[in-house]
Amino acid sequence: MQTAAVADFRTYPKICDLAEAQLLDDQIRVRWADGRVSPFHHQWLRDNCPCAACVYSVTREQVLEIVDVDEHLSAIDARIDQGFLSVAWSGGHRSQYDPGWLRAHAYDDESRAERRAAKPQSRLWDHTLSLPVFDYAAVMEAPDALLQWLLALRDTGLTQIRGVPTEPGALALIAHRISFIRESNFGVLFNVQSKADADSNAYTAFNLPLHSDLPTRELQPGLQFLHCLMNDANGGESIFVDGFAIANTLRTEDPEAFDALCEIPVEFRNKDRHSDYRRLAPIIALDALGDVAEIRMANFLRGPFDAPVEQMPLLYRAYRRFIAMTREARFRLVRRLNPGELWCFDNRRTLHARNAFDPASGARHFQGCYIDRDELLSRILVLQR
Protein backbone atom coordinates (compact mmCIF):
# COMPACT_ATOMS: atom_id res chain seq x y z
CA MET A 1 0.00 0.00 0.00
CA GLN A 2 1.15 3.48 -0.83
CA THR A 3 1.61 5.83 2.12
CA ALA A 4 1.71 9.56 1.70
CA ALA A 5 3.50 11.59 4.34
CA VAL A 6 1.49 13.80 6.66
CA ALA A 7 2.95 16.78 8.48
CA ASP A 8 2.30 15.19 11.87
CA PHE A 9 3.35 12.37 14.18
CA ARG A 10 -0.25 11.27 14.51
CA THR A 11 -1.95 9.04 12.02
CA TYR A 12 -5.32 10.00 10.64
CA PRO A 13 -7.56 6.98 10.16
CA LYS A 14 -9.39 6.88 6.86
CA ILE A 15 -12.99 7.73 7.72
CA CYS A 16 -14.22 7.74 4.16
CA ASP A 17 -12.95 7.12 0.63
CA LEU A 18 -12.39 9.93 -1.78
CA ALA A 19 -14.92 9.52 -4.60
CA GLU A 20 -14.26 12.36 -7.00
CA ALA A 21 -12.05 15.41 -7.46
CA GLN A 22 -13.35 18.23 -9.59
CA LEU A 23 -10.95 20.90 -10.74
CA LEU A 24 -12.37 24.44 -10.62
CA ASP A 25 -10.81 27.88 -11.18
CA ASP A 26 -9.52 28.55 -7.67
CA GLN A 27 -10.32 25.29 -5.87
CA ILE A 28 -10.66 21.55 -6.07
CA ARG A 29 -14.04 20.22 -5.02
CA VAL A 30 -13.69 16.83 -3.45
CA ARG A 31 -16.69 14.53 -3.16
CA TRP A 32 -16.40 11.80 -0.53
CA ALA A 33 -17.96 8.33 -0.72
CA ASP A 34 -20.54 9.36 1.92
CA GLY A 35 -21.66 12.28 -0.25
CA ARG A 36 -19.97 15.10 1.64
CA VAL A 37 -18.47 17.77 -0.59
CA SER A 38 -15.33 19.57 0.63
CA PRO A 39 -13.90 22.47 -1.34
CA PHE A 40 -10.14 23.03 -1.00
CA HIS A 41 -8.68 26.21 -2.41
CA HIS A 42 -5.57 25.85 -4.56
CA GLN A 43 -3.61 28.03 -2.14
CA TRP A 44 -4.68 25.90 0.81
CA LEU A 45 -3.69 22.67 -0.90
CA ARG A 46 -0.37 24.02 -2.10
CA ASP A 47 0.28 25.41 1.41
CA ASN A 48 -0.33 21.97 2.89
CA CYS A 49 1.64 19.84 0.46
CA PRO A 50 3.26 17.15 2.62
CA CYS A 51 6.03 16.19 0.18
CA ALA A 52 9.62 15.92 1.35
CA ALA A 53 10.49 19.26 -0.30
CA CYS A 54 7.70 21.10 1.53
CA VAL A 55 7.85 19.37 4.95
CA TYR A 56 11.08 18.25 6.64
CA SER A 57 10.48 14.59 7.35
CA VAL A 58 12.45 14.55 10.62
CA THR A 59 10.59 17.36 12.39
CA ARG A 60 7.40 17.09 10.29
CA GLU A 61 7.43 20.85 10.21
CA GLN A 62 6.87 22.93 7.12
CA VAL A 63 9.79 24.42 5.25
CA LEU A 64 7.66 25.83 2.45
CA GLU A 65 6.36 29.36 2.92
CA ILE A 66 3.23 29.96 0.87
CA VAL A 67 4.30 33.53 0.10
CA ASP A 68 7.12 32.04 -1.98
CA VAL A 69 4.54 30.45 -4.29
CA ASP A 70 2.76 32.50 -6.96
CA GLU A 71 -0.46 33.84 -5.42
CA HIS A 72 -2.30 32.99 -8.63
CA LEU A 73 -0.97 29.46 -8.88
CA SER A 74 -3.36 26.92 -10.30
CA ALA A 75 -3.74 23.21 -10.35
CA ILE A 76 -3.58 21.75 -13.82
CA ASP A 77 -4.71 18.27 -12.84
CA ALA A 78 -6.56 16.74 -9.88
CA ARG A 79 -7.40 13.07 -9.60
CA ILE A 80 -7.90 10.22 -7.15
CA ASP A 81 -4.89 7.97 -7.41
CA GLN A 82 -4.81 4.77 -5.32
CA GLY A 83 -7.03 6.42 -2.74
CA PHE A 84 -5.02 9.63 -2.46
CA LEU A 85 -5.83 13.06 -3.84
CA SER A 86 -3.15 13.74 -6.41
CA VAL A 87 -2.61 17.27 -7.71
CA ALA A 88 -0.29 18.61 -10.41
CA TRP A 89 0.55 22.32 -10.20
CA SER A 90 1.39 24.78 -12.92
CA GLY A 91 5.15 25.12 -12.61
CA GLY A 92 5.70 21.40 -12.16
CA HIS A 93 5.22 20.65 -8.46
CA ARG A 94 3.09 17.61 -7.52
CA SER A 95 1.26 16.94 -4.27
CA GLN A 96 -0.43 13.90 -2.77
CA TYR A 97 -2.85 14.08 0.13
CA ASP A 98 -3.71 11.29 2.52
CA PRO A 99 -7.53 10.89 2.64
CA GLY A 100 -7.61 10.52 6.44
CA TRP A 101 -5.56 13.69 6.89
CA LEU A 102 -7.63 15.55 4.30
CA ARG A 103 -10.94 14.63 5.90
CA ALA A 104 -9.63 15.61 9.36
CA HIS A 105 -8.69 19.06 8.03
CA ALA A 106 -11.55 19.70 5.58
CA TYR A 107 -13.13 23.09 6.11
CA ASP A 108 -16.58 22.73 4.55
CA ASP A 109 -19.32 23.79 7.02
CA GLU A 110 -20.24 20.23 8.01
CA SER A 111 -16.65 19.20 8.75
CA ARG A 112 -16.00 22.32 10.79
CA ALA A 113 -19.22 21.87 12.79
CA GLU A 114 -18.23 18.24 13.40
CA ARG A 115 -14.86 19.31 14.77
CA ARG A 116 -16.44 21.93 17.02
CA ALA A 117 -18.84 19.33 18.40
CA ALA A 118 -15.95 16.94 19.07
CA LYS A 119 -14.04 19.55 21.08
CA PRO A 120 -13.65 18.21 24.65
CA GLN A 121 -16.34 19.78 26.83
CA SER A 122 -15.88 20.65 30.48
CA ARG A 123 -18.18 18.52 32.62
CA LEU A 124 -19.56 21.05 35.09
CA TRP A 125 -20.14 19.89 38.66
CA ASP A 126 -21.52 20.94 42.04
CA HIS A 127 -21.54 19.49 45.58
CA THR A 128 -22.96 16.20 44.25
CA LEU A 129 -19.81 15.46 42.22
CA SER A 130 -18.69 11.88 42.48
CA LEU A 131 -15.04 12.66 42.93
CA PRO A 132 -12.72 11.05 40.34
CA VAL A 133 -10.26 9.07 42.49
CA PHE A 134 -7.18 7.25 41.11
CA ASP A 135 -4.64 4.87 42.51
CA TYR A 136 -1.01 5.96 42.78
CA ALA A 137 0.53 2.65 41.70
CA ALA A 138 -1.76 2.36 38.67
CA VAL A 139 -1.08 5.91 37.51
CA MET A 140 2.68 5.39 37.94
CA GLU A 141 2.75 2.11 35.99
CA ALA A 142 -0.13 1.82 33.55
CA PRO A 143 -0.38 4.24 30.61
CA ASP A 144 -4.13 3.68 30.42
CA ALA A 145 -4.69 4.58 34.09
CA LEU A 146 -2.51 7.64 33.50
CA LEU A 147 -4.64 8.66 30.51
CA GLN A 148 -7.90 8.18 32.45
CA TRP A 149 -6.57 10.41 35.22
CA LEU A 150 -5.48 13.10 32.76
CA LEU A 151 -8.82 13.07 30.95
CA ALA A 152 -10.60 13.55 34.30
CA LEU A 153 -8.29 16.48 35.02
CA ARG A 154 -9.04 18.01 31.64
CA ASP A 155 -12.80 17.48 31.70
CA THR A 156 -13.76 17.61 35.40
CA GLY A 157 -10.85 19.70 36.67
CA LEU A 158 -10.67 18.01 40.09
CA THR A 159 -9.14 14.63 40.97
CA GLN A 160 -7.73 12.82 43.95
CA ILE A 161 -4.94 10.22 44.05
CA ARG A 162 -4.62 7.73 46.91
CA GLY A 163 -1.80 5.49 47.99
CA VAL A 164 0.91 8.10 47.50
CA PRO A 165 4.03 7.57 49.65
CA THR A 166 4.11 10.07 52.51
CA GLU A 167 7.75 11.00 51.99
CA PRO A 168 8.51 14.64 51.21
CA GLY A 169 9.10 15.00 47.45
CA ALA A 170 6.92 12.06 46.46
CA LEU A 171 4.56 14.32 44.55
CA ALA A 172 7.34 15.21 42.12
CA LEU A 173 7.34 11.62 40.88
CA ILE A 174 3.68 11.72 40.03
CA ALA A 175 3.88 15.24 38.59
CA HIS A 176 6.64 14.01 36.27
CA ARG A 177 4.22 11.44 34.86
CA ILE A 178 2.72 14.48 33.12
CA SER A 179 5.75 16.67 32.55
CA PHE A 180 8.20 19.07 34.13
CA ILE A 181 7.12 21.15 37.09
CA ARG A 182 6.60 24.89 36.89
CA GLU A 183 8.79 26.55 39.45
CA SER A 184 7.74 29.75 41.21
CA ASN A 185 9.16 32.05 43.87
CA PHE A 186 7.71 29.56 46.38
CA GLY A 187 10.04 26.84 45.02
CA VAL A 188 9.79 23.82 42.72
CA LEU A 189 7.83 22.16 45.50
CA PHE A 190 6.27 24.38 48.17
CA ASN A 191 5.61 23.39 51.75
CA VAL A 192 2.20 24.37 53.08
CA GLN A 193 2.73 24.63 56.82
CA SER A 194 1.91 27.21 59.40
CA LYS A 195 5.12 29.29 59.76
CA ALA A 196 5.95 32.21 62.00
CA ASP A 197 7.62 34.11 59.14
CA ALA A 198 4.90 33.34 56.58
CA ASP A 199 5.31 35.02 53.16
CA SER A 200 1.71 34.11 52.26
CA ASN A 201 -1.55 33.63 54.14
CA ALA A 202 -1.35 30.07 52.81
CA TYR A 203 1.49 29.47 55.30
CA THR A 204 -0.59 30.35 58.35
CA ALA A 205 -3.36 28.47 60.13
CA PHE A 206 -6.01 30.94 58.86
CA ASN A 207 -8.88 29.84 56.74
CA LEU A 208 -8.13 30.49 53.07
CA PRO A 209 -11.18 31.56 51.05
CA LEU A 210 -11.81 30.02 47.61
CA HIS A 211 -9.03 31.08 45.28
CA SER A 212 -6.75 30.24 42.38
CA ASP A 213 -3.00 30.17 43.03
CA LEU A 214 -0.70 32.79 41.48
CA PRO A 215 -3.46 35.01 40.03
CA THR A 216 -0.66 37.56 40.24
CA ARG A 217 1.06 36.07 37.16
CA GLU A 218 0.43 36.70 33.48
CA LEU A 219 -0.27 32.97 33.16
CA GLN A 220 -1.78 31.26 36.20
CA PRO A 221 -0.47 27.71 36.62
CA GLY A 222 -2.76 25.24 34.90
CA LEU A 223 -2.53 22.36 37.36
CA GLN A 224 -1.99 22.40 41.06
CA PHE A 225 -0.97 19.43 43.21
CA LEU A 226 -1.45 19.33 46.99
CA HIS A 227 -0.03 16.25 48.68
CA CYS A 228 -0.83 15.48 52.31
CA LEU A 229 2.12 14.25 54.39
CA MET A 230 0.56 14.92 57.80
CA ASN A 231 -2.85 16.14 58.85
CA ASP A 232 -3.31 15.69 62.57
CA ALA A 233 -4.58 19.19 63.35
CA ASN A 234 -8.23 19.91 64.02
CA GLY A 235 -9.82 21.69 61.05
CA GLY A 236 -8.07 22.38 57.76
CA GLU A 237 -10.61 20.61 55.54
CA SER A 238 -10.22 21.18 51.78
CA ILE A 239 -13.03 22.88 49.86
CA PHE A 240 -13.47 23.07 46.09
CA VAL A 241 -15.92 24.71 43.72
CA ASP A 242 -16.17 24.47 39.94
CA GLY A 243 -15.43 28.05 38.93
CA PHE A 244 -16.82 27.40 35.43
CA ALA A 245 -20.12 26.16 36.89
CA ILE A 246 -20.40 29.28 39.06
CA ALA A 247 -19.48 31.60 36.18
CA ASN A 248 -22.03 29.95 33.88
CA THR A 249 -24.73 30.15 36.55
CA LEU A 250 -23.91 33.82 37.07
CA ARG A 251 -24.10 34.31 33.32
CA THR A 252 -27.77 33.19 33.28
CA GLU A 253 -28.82 34.57 36.67
CA ASP A 254 -27.13 37.97 36.47
CA PRO A 255 -25.67 38.72 33.01
CA GLU A 256 -24.76 42.28 33.96
CA ALA A 257 -22.58 41.04 36.85
CA PHE A 258 -21.08 38.35 34.62
CA ASP A 259 -20.15 40.90 31.94
CA ALA A 260 -18.60 43.18 34.57
CA LEU A 261 -16.32 40.34 35.78
CA CYS A 262 -15.35 39.57 32.18
CA GLU A 263 -14.63 43.17 31.28
CA ILE A 264 -13.39 45.16 34.28
CA PRO A 265 -9.79 44.29 35.12
CA VAL A 266 -8.75 43.82 38.73
CA GLU A 267 -5.19 43.92 40.05
CA PHE A 268 -3.77 40.98 41.97
CA ARG A 269 -0.62 41.50 43.99
CA ASN A 270 1.85 39.23 45.72
CA LYS A 271 4.63 40.99 47.50
CA ASP A 272 7.22 39.99 50.04
CA ARG A 273 10.62 41.30 50.99
CA HIS A 274 12.24 39.98 47.77
CA SER A 275 9.58 39.96 45.08
CA ASP A 276 6.64 41.99 43.86
CA TYR A 277 4.32 40.35 41.36
CA ARG A 278 1.34 42.20 39.95
CA ARG A 279 -1.21 41.34 37.32
CA LEU A 280 -4.13 43.39 36.06
CA ALA A 281 -6.79 41.15 34.48
CA PRO A 282 -10.52 40.44 34.60
CA ILE A 283 -11.73 37.73 37.00
CA ILE A 284 -13.43 35.73 34.23
CA ALA A 285 -11.72 35.10 30.89
CA LEU A 286 -13.54 33.76 27.82
CA ASP A 287 -12.04 31.73 24.98
CA ALA A 288 -12.32 32.57 21.27
CA LEU A 289 -15.74 30.89 21.11
CA GLY A 290 -17.09 32.90 24.06
CA ASP A 291 -16.99 30.00 26.55
CA VAL A 292 -15.67 30.56 30.08
CA ALA A 293 -11.99 29.54 29.96
CA GLU A 294 -10.40 30.80 33.17
CA ILE A 295 -11.16 32.16 36.63
CA ARG A 296 -8.68 34.41 38.39
CA MET A 297 -9.48 34.93 42.04
CA ALA A 298 -7.83 35.31 45.42
CA ASN A 299 -9.29 37.89 47.76
CA PHE A 300 -6.13 37.91 49.90
CA LEU A 301 -3.99 38.82 46.86
CA ARG A 302 -6.20 41.55 45.49
CA GLY A 303 -5.22 45.20 45.19
CA PRO A 304 -7.70 48.05 45.59
CA PHE A 305 -10.20 48.21 42.73
CA ASP A 306 -9.29 50.82 40.17
CA ALA A 307 -12.25 51.35 37.85
CA PRO A 308 -14.07 54.36 36.38
CA VAL A 309 -16.20 56.07 39.02
CA GLU A 310 -19.46 55.07 37.35
CA GLN A 311 -18.42 51.40 37.20
CA MET A 312 -17.30 50.99 40.83
CA PRO A 313 -20.74 50.14 42.29
CA LEU A 314 -21.30 47.55 39.55
CA LEU A 315 -17.86 46.01 40.12
CA TYR A 316 -18.53 45.64 43.85
CA ARG A 317 -21.99 44.21 43.19
CA ALA A 318 -20.58 41.64 40.73
CA TYR A 319 -17.61 40.74 42.94
CA ARG A 320 -19.78 40.25 46.01
CA ARG A 321 -22.21 38.17 44.02
CA PHE A 322 -19.45 35.89 42.71
CA ILE A 323 -17.90 35.40 46.16
CA ALA A 324 -21.35 34.82 47.67
CA MET A 325 -21.87 32.05 45.11
CA THR A 326 -18.55 30.40 46.04
CA ARG A 327 -19.94 30.22 49.60
CA GLU A 328 -23.20 28.54 48.58
CA ALA A 329 -23.42 24.93 49.75
CA ARG A 330 -24.79 23.78 46.37
CA PHE A 331 -21.43 24.45 44.72
CA ARG A 332 -19.04 23.32 47.47
CA LEU A 333 -17.32 20.00 47.81
CA VAL A 334 -15.78 19.65 51.30
CA ARG A 335 -13.35 16.82 52.10
CA ARG A 336 -10.55 16.25 54.52
CA LEU A 337 -7.30 15.17 52.87
CA ASN A 338 -5.54 12.30 54.64
CA PRO A 339 -1.83 11.43 54.61
CA GLY A 340 -0.96 9.58 51.38
CA GLU A 341 -3.65 11.37 49.39
CA LEU A 342 -3.21 14.21 46.99
CA TRP A 343 -5.41 16.69 45.20
CA CYS A 344 -4.67 17.51 41.62
CA PHE A 345 -6.91 20.12 40.01
CA ASP A 346 -7.18 22.69 37.25
CA ASN A 347 -6.02 25.84 39.02
CA ARG A 348 -7.53 28.07 36.32
CA ARG A 349 -10.98 26.54 36.75
CA THR A 350 -11.43 24.83 40.13
CA LEU A 351 -11.14 27.23 43.05
CA HIS A 352 -9.77 25.75 46.25
CA ALA A 353 -9.96 26.73 49.92
CA ARG A 354 -9.19 25.36 53.34
CA ASN A 355 -10.82 25.81 56.69
CA ALA A 356 -8.79 27.29 59.52
CA PHE A 357 -6.95 24.72 61.61
CA ASP A 358 -5.58 24.62 65.12
CA PRO A 359 -1.79 24.15 64.95
CA ALA A 360 -1.72 23.41 68.70
CA SER A 361 -3.85 20.29 68.13
CA GLY A 362 -1.43 18.50 65.79
CA ALA A 363 0.88 18.79 62.81
CA ARG A 364 -0.34 19.62 59.32
CA HIS A 365 2.04 19.44 56.36
CA PHE A 366 1.08 19.51 52.69
CA GLN A 367 3.46 19.83 49.73
CA GLY A 368 2.41 21.40 46.47
CA CYS A 369 3.61 22.07 42.93
CA TYR A 370 2.35 23.36 39.58
CA ILE A 371 2.33 22.22 35.97
CA ASP A 372 1.06 24.26 33.02
CA ARG A 373 -2.12 23.25 31.19
CA ASP A 374 -0.22 22.86 27.90
CA GLU A 375 1.75 19.98 29.40
CA LEU A 376 -1.43 18.17 30.38
CA LEU A 377 -2.99 18.58 26.93
CA SER A 378 0.20 17.55 25.15
CA ARG A 379 0.60 14.44 27.31
CA ILE A 380 -3.01 13.45 26.57
CA LEU A 381 -2.49 13.79 22.80
CA VAL A 382 0.73 11.80 22.89
CA LEU A 383 -0.87 9.01 24.97
CA GLN A 384 -3.74 8.92 22.48
CA ARG A 385 -1.48 8.62 19.40
* Residues forming the site for ligand OGA (CB under 6 A): 192, 202, 208, 213, 226, 238, 352, 354, 366, 368
For the CB of residue 352, give the shortest distance to ligand OGA in the complex, in Å. 5
Q: Which does 261 bind (CB under 5 to 8 A by kind): Zn ion, ligand OGA, none?
A: none
* Closer residue to Zn ion (CB): 192 or 315: 192
Give CA 228 to chain center in angstroms.
Answer: 25
Q: Which does 54 bind (CB under 5 to 8 A by kind): ligand OGA, Zn ion, none?
A: Zn ion
77, 23 in Cβ contact below 8 A? yes
Contacts of 134 by beta carbon, 8 Å cutoff, 6+ apart: 145, 148, 149, 152, 159, 160, 161, 162
For the CB of residue 356, give the shortest distance to ligand OGA in the complex, in Å. 10
Q: How far apart are CA 289 and CA 284, in angstroms?
A: 14
Q: Which does 189 bind (CB under 5 to 8 A by kind): ligand OGA, Zn ion, none?
A: none
Q: How far apart are CA 220 and CA 27, in angstroms?
A: 43
Contacts of 23 by beta carbon, 8 Å cutoff, 6+ apart: 75, 77, 78
For the CB of residue 355, give the shortest distance to ligand OGA in the complex, in Å. 9
Using CB under 5 A, list all residues that contact Zn ion.
Answer: 49, 51, 53-54, 213
For the CB of residue 274, give the shortest distance to ligand OGA in the complex, in Å. 19
* Closer residue to Zn ion (CB): 51 or 80: 51
* Closer residue to Zn ion (CB): 32 or 331: 331
Q: Which does 49 bind (CB under 5 to 8 A by kind): Zn ion, ligand OGA, none?
A: Zn ion
* Closer residue to Zn ion (CB): 30 or 54: 54
Task: Say what angle helices 243-253 and 312-326 make with each other, to 10 degrees.
Answer: 130
* Closer residue to ligand OGA (CB): 95 or 238: 238
The residue among 148, 124, 121 whose CA lies nearest residue 134 is: 148
For the CB of residue 190, give the shortest distance to ligand OGA in the complex, in Å. 7
* Closer residue to ligand OGA (CB): 211 or 321: 211
Q: Which does 192 bind (CB under 5 to 8 A by kind): Zn ion, ligand OGA, none?
A: ligand OGA
For the CB of residue 186, give the shortest distance to ligand OGA in the complex, in Å. 8
* Closer residue to ligand OGA (CB): 224 or 249: 224
| Dihedral of alpha carbons 170, 176, 182, 183, sign | positive
For the CB of residue 95, give the shortest distance to Zn ion in the complex, in Å. 5
For the CB of residue 211, give the shortest distance to ligand OGA in the complex, in Å. 7
The residue among 384, 371, 381, 319 whose CA lies nearest residue 144 is: 384
Give the alpha-carbon dihedral of 64, 66, 72, 77, to 10 degrees. Answer: 50
Contacts of 210 by beta carbon, 8 Å cutoff, 6+ apart: 239, 241, 297, 323, 326, 327, 351, 352, 353
Question: Per DSSP, what are the bridge partners of residue 32?
Answer: 18
How many residues in total does the chain contain? Answer: 385
* Closer residue to ligand OGA (CB): 208 or 284: 208
268, 301 in Cβ contact below 8 A? yes
